[in-house]
Amino acid sequence: MKLLFIGDIVGEPGRRAVKTLLPKLREQLALDFVIANGENSAGGSGITPKTAGEIFSAGVDVITSGDHLWDQKEVLELLANEKRFLRPLNYPADVPGHGSGVFEIKKLKVAVLNAQGRTFMQPPLENPFLLAADEVKKLHEQTKIIFVDFHAEATSEKIAFARILDGQVSAVVGTHTHVQTADEQIFPGGTAYLTDAGFTGPHESVLGREIEPIIKRFLTGMPQRFEVAKNNVQLHGAVIEIDAASGKAIKIQRVSENL
């Protein structure tokens, strides 16, 4: 099977890129399943039922999130009612929503797990290394195809997290930094890995935001409004080919498409 993961969708430009480009990519790449990180889809910070609806309507099967989960109060509605929307697994058990899910597509079951790192990340959450190992064992009872979005800052934490899961999951792809890395590979146990998928949105920017206010902030230290930028919109992510019988990755390839 072929799975596409789309890196952090930023604001209206990112949503527009998904709506415009994903139908073509589904056909060209013969995709079976699409996952996207949508935590920045609402005005560049957070997600709402409306922006999630746009992303689902464009052809995304599951939306993951990260440290901007709570930036829009409407997210509580999503967490309560939408099983295709995941929050990081390592929140306390009584927090609304789910950190993983199993979804059926073309008679195949695909598990998606969302976890958040702790190094340089806020808020500080439970240890994802311990929680993910137990969760993966539970997911294995339903399917061998398991995709992990690890939302984290430190590259060392991302690599170590993926290494500990090598052979247990089909893929671990990192999000959060908005910078696509060039280290795609398949580990010895059959797990595909990419440190960061990049972001989907305006790339004539600083991580999706207008350039000048951010430069001014660095120069003066004064507060600024960081509006979502507009130009050079791209869709970033990775396509992973998985052997459905074993759950092992066969191939991983970065995606970078201009709108």
pLDDT in tens, 27-69: 999 999 999 999 999 999 999 999 999 999 999 999 999 999 9
For the question of residue 68 being annotated catalytic, the response is: yes
Q: What is the mean pLDDT of residues 227-255?
A: 98
* Beta carbons of 61 and 84 less than 8 angstroms apart: yes
Domain annotation for the chain: domains and CATH numbers: 2-202+231-258 (3.60.21.10)
pLDDT of 253 above 90? yes
pLDDT of 106 above 90? no
Q: What is the mean pLDDT of residues 10-21?
A: 98
Q: Which of 68, 176, 178, 203 is catalytic?
A: 68
pLDDT the model gives residue 97: 97
The band of 218, judged by pLDDT with boundaries at 50, 70 and 90, is: very high
The share of the chain scoring above pLDDT 90, in percent, equals 98
Q: Please give the Cα distance from 237 to 205 (Å, whole number).
A: 18
